[in-house]
Amino acid sequence: MTESWANPPAEPGPALGTGQGLGADLHLELRGSGLRAGIMDALREAVRTGRLAPGTRLPSSRTLAADLGISRNTVADAYAELVAEGWLTARQGSGTRVARRAAPRRPAAAAPRTRPARVGAAYSLLPGSPDLGAFPRGQWLTAARRALTAAPNEAFGYGDAYGRIELRTVLADYLARARGVYAGPERIVICAGFVHGLTLLGTVLRARRVRSVAVESYGLDQHRNLLTEAGMRTPALPLDERGTRTEGLADARDVGAVLMTPAHQFPTGVALHPDRRAAAVDWARGTDGLILEDDYDGEFRYDRQPVGALQGLDPERVVYLGTASKSLAPGLRLGWMVLPEELVGEVAETKGEADRASSVLDQLTLAQFIASGAYDRHVRSMRLRYRRRRDQLVAALAERAPGIRVTGIAAGLHAVVELPPGTERPVIEAAAWQGLGLEGLARFRHPSAPSGRDALVVGYATPTDSAWAGALDALCRVLP
């Protein structure tokens, strides 16, 4: 607080916000030649700039006076004059509030000149997100209450870089049972999602003098960029109908690791063939290399048993990365790495002594959510829900666009909709004009990979139930 008084109090009062009274804290910068004028000027400025929104309840005159260390009458007089000017309102039983004045006009942002104005996206079929409206709020709240009740006092400290032992313990059991992962709690480090985990691994790999990390020729550029920013090259491995061509690793130069989505390649949707799984593990064993396995939606397999994690073939050569982003919601910022024994300490040290990434309460809640069986029930429920969405997508396209082929549908939350050559960009632009968000397959192609087929990557999990029919109808309208 900035104070300048003509006649300052004998003993300066505490800074505002110390909470001496029982009302809300209020930060004001007081300037001027007197107490009453300083309060009035500061309140006018806070209202004028919008920092105090219309309807905001101010502290009582007694509370504000106690916080300032001045006379209550001074504050009351300032409030009364601002009420008379129309800045504040005061009603019996409602206290003193900011008047509901018209908001000050702000200059409109200039429209971008490089692209025409378009209708806002009424529907989204973008991949990468679950149905956020299906988040199990009630069950999560129950788990949070139980976790909060049972949490020891020390749980609310800074924590360690490994993450809460309660979560690591239940994750070890769940991943072994559901994904075929060889995982003890001591091998698991909690992180704030896949990007955070990959960032930590990039730092560790660079410290180990890894020069290149091979990636799949289709994938997220954000992941490639993280590795590039860590100082490593990202050569691309080609893809075909059997998944990533891992036999090419044998001829790769300076590659110390490979980033893969073996259970359900993103975005093409292909599961890695067993022979190529074996080839990747053989390469890692023979070169002392590492496989970074992104199991981003491994629980959602529809036509047969889920493909087990690659990590189970060799836990000392594969880093398994999973998150709650697709199974629950990305906003939880909860992920986990199951690490080879020799990497655990390096990753934890890179993360730091204190766990500053994921909320302790969220970790404890997820642990309770899994241990109670609620997580399994939710995944099974969503598996049925997403399978119905997938079937409805396939049926709608078969009826309204019979020449269009749909692939990559055995698992996951998206499908690949094949298009005639040269039509991918026009279809996406037509969809945008109609308020439909779509991504093309080309969006995910590695810069060094040759141009491939035209296709859409359709995220059928994203729309809410109420928006699903409209999104599906909009998609069918824009297809050639």
Q: Which residues contact 51 (CB under 8 A, 6 or more apart)?
A: none
Q: Are 438 and 427 in contact (CB under 8 A)?
A: yes
Give the SS3 label for residue 12. Answer: coil
If 0-12 CB within 10 Å is exposed, 13-18 middle and 19+ buried, where does residue 331 land? exposed
Question: Helices in 69-212 by DSSP H: which ranges?
Answer: 72-85, 137-150, 165-179, 194-207
Q: Are 463 and 437 in contact (CB under 8 A)?
A: no
Q: What is the pLDDT of residue 119?
A: 43
Q: Are 459 and 132 in contact (CB under 8 A)?
A: no
Peptide bond into 402 cis (omega under 30): no
Residue 152 to residue 148: CA distance in whole angstroms? 9
Q: What is the pLDDT of residue 106?
A: 45
Beta strands in 173-309, from DSSP E residues, in sequence order: 188-191, 212-216, 236-237, 239-240, 243-244, 255-260, 290-294
- The residues that bridge with 411 in the sheet, in sequence order, are 301
Candidates 350, 356, 6, 317; CA nearest to 159 is: 356
Superfamily of domain 123-132+377-478: Aspartate Aminotransferase, domain 1 (3.90.1150.10)
User: From first to last of its 480 residues, what are the pLDDT tens digits of the chain?
Assistant: 343 333 333 333 333 333 333 456 787 777 666 788 888 888 888 888 888 889 888 898 898 888 887 888 988 988 988 888 888 998 887 789 998 864 444 444 443 333 333 445 689 999 999 999 999 999 999 999 999 999 999 999 988 899 999 999 999 999 999 999 998 999 999 999 999 999 999 999 999 999 999 999 999 999 999 999 999 999 999 999 999 999 889 888 889 999 999 999 999 999 999 999 999 999 999 999 999 999 998 889 998 777 889 999 999 999 999 999 999 999 999 999 999 999 999 999 999 977 778 899 999 999 999 999 999 999 999 999 999 999 999 999 999 999 899 999 999 999 999 999 999 999 999 999 989 999 999 999 999 999 889 999 999 999 988 999 999 999 999 999
CB atoms within 10 A of CB 34: 15
Residue showing tokens 């480090």: 189
Q: What is the pLDDT of residue 68?
A: 80
Please name the amino acid found at residue 455.
A
Q: What is the pLDDT of residue 267?
A: 96
Q: Are 3 and 14 in contact (CB under 8 A)?
A: no
Q: What is the pLDDT of residue 118?
A: 43
Whether 1-106 and 123-132+377-478 share one fold: the answer is: no
> Taking the CA of residue 272 as centre, how many other CA atoms within 13 Å lie in the half-sphere pointing to its CB?
29
Domain 1-106 belongs to what topology? Arc Repressor Mutant, subunit A (1.10.10)
Q: What is the pLDDT of residue 199?
A: 96
Give the SS3 label for residue 233. Answer: strand
- The residues that bridge with 124 in the sheet, in sequence order, are 437
Candidates 457, 452, 446; CA nearest to 408 is: 457
Phi and psi angles of residue 193, each rounded to the nearest 5 degrees, phi first: 105, 175
Q: Which residues contact 385 (CB under 8 A, 6 or more apart)?
A: 131, 134
Map out the domains of the chain as residue ranges. 1-106, 123-132+377-478, 135-372
Residue 142 to residue 375: CA distance in whole angstroms? 12
If 0-12 CB within 10 Å is exposed, 13-18 middle and 19+ buried, where does residue 326 land? buried
Give the SS3 label for residue 407. Answer: strand
- Give Dmax over CA atoms of the chain in angstroms: 86
Q: What is the pLDDT of residue 172?
A: 96
Architecture of domain 135-372: 3-Layer(aba) Sandwich (3.40)
